[in-house]
């Protein structure tokens, strides 16, 4: 119970107190700066979305594999 509470607390802290990430290469950064503030935010969100999807899928596969072996 204590471990579950700690895990859930860590998960909520990560979600609610996450800092903004700027996941842009140098070319994307220069292009976004020329376009203005709003498109730059959308480009950054798209890059984070595209990077996050494979990581989530790998995490799900790893978790299922771990649960199967335990």
**pTM, whole model, 2 decimals?**
0.45
pLDDT digits (tens, 9 = 90+) for 40-57: 778 778 877 888 888 899
Residue 3 is assigned to a structural domain of this protein: no
Domain contains 13: no
Residues 6+ apart with CB under 8 A from 13: none
Q: Is residue 59 part of a domain?
A: yes
Give the Cβ contact number of residue 40 at 10 Å.
18
Q: Give the Cα separation of 6 and 47 in Å (integer).
A: 31
pLDDT of residue 25: 74
In a domain, 52, yes or no: yes
Which domain covers residue 35, as residue numbers?
Answer: 22-70
Let me know if residue 39 belongs to a domain. Answer: yes
C-beta separation of 17 from 44 below 8 A: no
Residue 7 lies in a domain: no
Domain count of the fold of the chain: 1
């Amino acid at each position: 119970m204590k471990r579950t509470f700690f895990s859930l607390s860590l998960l909520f802290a990560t979600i609610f107190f996450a800092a903004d990430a700027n996941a842009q290469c140098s070319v994307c950064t220069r292009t976004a700066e020329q376009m203005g503030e709003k498109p730059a935010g959308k480009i950054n969100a798209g890059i984070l979305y595209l990077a996050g999807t494979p990581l989530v899928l790998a995490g799900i596969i790893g978790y299922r594999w771990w649960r199967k072996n335990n």
